[in-house]
Amino acid sequence: MSYIDIEKQLNKIESDLETKLRKANVIDANNKALKVEKFNKFIDEAIDECNLILRDLEISRNYDANTNNIVFSRIEAFRAMKENQAFKVSTKETDGKEQRIIENKNTKRFSLFKRGKGLALRQIFGQRTPQQSEEKTR
């Protein structure tokens, strides 16, 4: 089984979960849980279906290396839904946060490089005053 087939199965599980939740009036228009017990029950059923896929993969032993990771990440997404009591988990808290951290580190690295380069050049050539540089050019 390729990871594409597994992804299709996982997408089907997620879409079936959403239709079940909507038909049972368990979530509202903002995808927040109205009936917590039923919501958790449906999420647990979806996780069980994902675990069945993992079991089938282990039995068949004919899968890509990343396939298990794909299933595990979807299970974690379902657990996050259960924890947040919402069907779609908002990622607004982390949007761009990682990118800003990377940019800050790159900027700091470059400034440290420039500072280090200046120190190294001063050590090699010594500190020169404007008068010394004029005398050498004469």
> How does residue 59 score in pLDDT terms, banded at 50, 70 and 90?
confident
* 2-36 per-position pLDDT tens digit: 778 888 999 999 999 989 988 999 888 888 888 88
Phi, then psi, of 95 in degrees rounded to 5: -60, 120
Distance CA 119, CA 110 (A): 14
* Domain edges within the chain: 3-84, 101-137
Mean pLDDT of the 94-107 span:
66
Cα dihedral 49, 53, 58, 64 in deg (nearest 10) = -150
- What is the per-residue pLDDT for 43? 93
Closest C-alpha to 48, from 82, 89, 25, 22: 82
Q: How many helices (H) and strands (E) does the chain have?
A: 5, 0
- What is the per-residue pLDDT for 34? 87
Taking all residues of the chain, what is their mean pLDDT, rounded to a whole number? 78
- What is the per-residue pLDDT for 42? 93
- What is the per-residue pLDDT for 6? 87
Residue 112 in this model has a pLDDT that exceeds 80? no
Element spanning 5, H or E:
helix 3-23
From 48-57, 61-70, 88-97, the region with the lowest mean pLDDT: 88-97
Q: Are 25 and 34 in contact (CB under 8 A)?
A: yes
Residue 52 in this model has a pLDDT that exceeds 80? yes
**Token digits for 103?**
């940019």
